[in-house]
A and B are shown apart, each in its own frame.
Chain A
Amino acid sequence: MMPRSIASLRVISDSRPRAILPSPILGMLIFVIAEMMMFAGLMSAFSIVKAGALGWPPPGQPRLPVEATAFNTAVLLASAAFLYVANRTYARNRNLAKRPLFTAMGLGVFFVSFQGYEWVSLIRQGLTLTSSNHGSFFYLIVGMHGLHAIAGLSVLGWAALQLSRGRLAPSSFAATQVFWYFVVGLWPVLYFMVYL
């Protein structure tokens, strides 16, 4: 995401028309919109199949761990809150931003690991990709979100690395935040649709 052409570097400095948003943020926003549409596609497919089924979840299939995942949802939301704090701190003093940023990442890692733990126990109980459409959609949607969470954590890791080297540009940091807020903001919606 590092802009290299002089176009992007000059946007603010010369007499060009004012950029509507810094380029990294705008680019990331467009990407996030495309991603949202992908999840919208998954969720509409899910609700169509669910509405056409006789009973949901199908009989004989294990129930999803609603309470444990509610806790995990709270962990993920807390991660976003710490990222927000990191951003506020970054604006005042870049060196102090590291701690809240690492906390946000740690909570994100916890979320992903906990989801993985949940998957393992669900597979033991007999919910697999091919056991029913319930299982297929569960692993597809949650797994897709998990992949995005891992990608988001990598991007945050990159930001943390740049921050510790003192090279993190404000607009790049903002772009990584946009992606992580997307990952976090999407989750409660998925939770309501898939788990409840």
Chain B
Amino acid sequence: MAESIPADATHGHDVHHHAEQSFWSKYVFSTDHKMIAMQYMFTGMAMALIGGFMAYAFRMQLAFPGIEVPGYGTVTATDYNALVTNHGTIMIFWVAMPVLIAAFGNFLIPLMIGCDDMVFPKINRLSYQIFLLSAIVLISSFFVPGGGFGGGWTAYPPLSAKGEYNLTSLGSSLWLVAVALEFVAFLLGGINFVTTAMNARAPGMKMFDIPIVVWLIVVASILFMASVGPLIAGAVMLFMDQNIGTAFFDPDKGGDPVLWQHLFWFFGHPEVYVVLLPAMGITAEIMCVFARKKMFAYKTFIYTTFGTGVLSFTVWAHHQFVAGIDPRMANIFTVTTLLISIPIAEMCFIYIATLYGGSIRLTTPMLWALAFVAEFLIGGVTGIFLGASGADIYFHDTYFVLAHFHYTFFPIAIIGTFAGFTYWFPKMFGKMMNETLGKIHFWGTIIPFNGIFIPLFVLGGAGQHRRIYNYQHFPDLAGVEMQDLRVFATVSLIIMLAFQLVFFYNCFISWRKKEKDAGKNPWKANTLEWTAESPPPHGNWPELPTVYRGPYEYSVPGREEDYYPQNVPG
């Protein structure tokens, strides 16, 4: 990536702009934001494969209890607990976060605001190194005596607090250490994102010339940094409960187990928006480009995002409706929870208004973007059931919650990632992906996805509880009809996982192509990253661009082309 030296490389520079770099300084210890983005991206994707494999193993156990799972072996009850716990942990903290925030944030922010790198490149590199360490710690927890942590990804005490309850004393401590390290990594990354976007924009780029996805990643980073503190405090307390013998969460000795739930969800709920917002930003970029229309209500969208961010700090206790909180408090949190659906609905309407009357091109990224909105809506609407405290008493901890949750996080973490990855792939590697394979992969993912989780809504409505190893032990849940739905979901999952091979094959053949057929701007988009070479060299531009207009000037009347790049004077 460092073939060409920027013209201005002679002044104000240190080693990080030298032309010849060894393998280590180019790929491993690079401070280049694009290389760090790729490191985050591929670490995240590798973790997604691990998390997906875990889902395969425990879904097989649920569909065919006691079976020897091909490729895994028999899933014991302890294995099952560790698999579901770490599936959740990995998919949220080691897939959604690194890919959506860290990878896209690193790749897009400097390129979209017209700057050569992050403001603190070394802190950026440190951020990835800590993240990698955290992933190693998490995976190593599976190989210690007792195995991986099995107390659920929310780690509620007292189960998580004592080795004699969860039987994985070392695994649960390693889990906590891994999560804490990961937060430190994203804290460092987030500082970079906000500072860079605020301080290093290209000449002429005003606040409201910043592309939506950059704004949304910035807001998401702020949300993350403002909410993560209490969870770090809670993690330290839980770690001390586990290893030193304090009793912060032990009711026997005057502690309070629900306290952890408050500390966890004070972070955990904004966290949903932390990963949602980048995905929504990616979707907005793609929709404008492939509808060839100006973003509808750009400023309203951003203000709505701010509103969502503020509201997201006021909803966390809807996770504690059955934990014995005061019903009057539950009422308040019901109201705030239902309120937060308003800005999100507004953002969906803005998408629809953007699409309305556009000349829509159904490319692979566009299909992903449209699917994101459609599938996320199902997740959002089912969330209303759970946000109402009365209904939640019935639905709490059933598969209805689980299906709702996956209908929000799957569109965010998987669909959003595929949308962004297929859209920016030409910029990342200079080559176009195969559209036919892309569409096969799209349909092969979306249809089985619904095949997995619609049955789970039905099962949840019928009262099937989460985190149960074998439903055959429960007469009410062991019926053939219910078991058939479980088998259906598991088979759908296997089909979906199999179709991911198409994606990797597509990546591989596209990456292996001899010629760089993408050019600078294959989608005819306006934003600044499309004015750099594909892939952009170290330093991004020989001369930094100047910005003359907003990012969404498509189909401007009286102009020959239907796009108007931000850096074109006039």
Stretch at the interface among A35-43, A67-75, A186-194: A35-43
Interface contacts (Cβ under 8 Å), in number, total: 166
Residues of A within 8 A of B69 (CB): none
Partner of B121, one of A5, A26, A33: A5
Nearest 8 A/B pairs, CB to CB: A41-B230, A37-B229, A38-B229, A41-B233, A7-B200, A19-B199, A15-B203, A5-B117
The minimal Cβ–Cβ distance linking A174 to chain B, given in whole angstroms, is 14
The minimal Cβ–Cβ distance linking A140 to chain B, given in whole angstroms, is 7
A6 touches B12 (CB 8 A): yes
In the docked arrangement, what's the CA distance between A43 and B377, Å? Answer: 38
Interface size class of B (residues with CB under 8 A): 35 or more
Q: Does residue A30 face the partner (Cβ distance < 8 Å to B)?
A: yes
Mask: chain B, 322-359; 1 = CB below 8 Å from A; 0 = not: 00000000000000000000000000000000000000
Interface positions, chain B 120-160, Cβ under 8 Å from A, are 120-123
Q: Does residue A20 face the partner (Cβ distance < 8 Å to B)?
A: yes
Interface positions, chain B 205-242, Cβ under 8 Å from A, are 205-207, 222, 225-234, 236-237, 240
B13 touches A6 (CB 8 A): yes
Stretch at the interface among A45-53, A77-85, A106-114: A45-53
In the docked arrangement, what's the CA distance between A44 and B222, Å? Answer: 21
A8 touches B229 (CB 8 A): no
Q: Does residue A34 face the partner (Cβ distance < 8 Å to B)?
A: yes
In the docked arrangement, what's the CA distance between A30 and B192, Å? Answer: 10
Using A9-B12, A41-B263 as known contacts, say yes or no to A30 and B225 having CB atoms under 8 A apart: yes
7 A-B pairs within 8 Å (CB atoms) are namely A1-B120, A16-B202, A19-B199, A26-B199, A38-B230, A133-B253, A140-B237
A4 touches B256 (CB 8 A): no
| Most chain B C-beta atoms within 10 Å of own C-beta, residue among A6, A21, A33 | A6
Q: Does residue A103 face the partner (Cβ distance < 8 Å to B)?
A: no
Partner of A129, one of B8, B12, B203, B240: B240
Interface size class of A (residues with CB under 8 A): 35 or more
Residues of B within 8 A of A15 (CB): 203-204, 546
A5 touches B230 (CB 8 A): no
Q: Does residue A27 face the partner (Cβ distance < 8 Å to B)?
A: yes
| A9-B12, A19-B198 known, 7 other contacts, Cβ within 8 Å | A2-B122, A7-B117, A23-B195, A34-B225, A37-B228, A37-B230, A144-B236
Q: Does residue B248 face the partner (Cβ distance < 8 Å to A)?
A: yes
B195 touches A38 (CB 8 A): no
Residues of A within 8 A of B31 (CB): 4
Nearest B-chain residue to A58, judged by Cβ: B254
Using A27-B120, A27-B195, A33-B225 as known contacts, say yes or no to A133 and B247 having CB atoms under 8 A apart: yes
B226 touches A37 (CB 8 A): yes
Nearest A-chain residue to B248, judged by Cβ: A136
Interface positions, chain A 100-144, Cβ under 8 Å from B, are 129-130, 132-133, 136-137, 140, 144
| Most chain A C-beta atoms within 10 Å of own C-beta, residue among B16, B246, B263 | B246
| Most chain B C-beta atoms within 10 Å of own C-beta, residue among A37, A44, A52 | A37
Partner of A17, one of B121, B206, B230, B254: B206
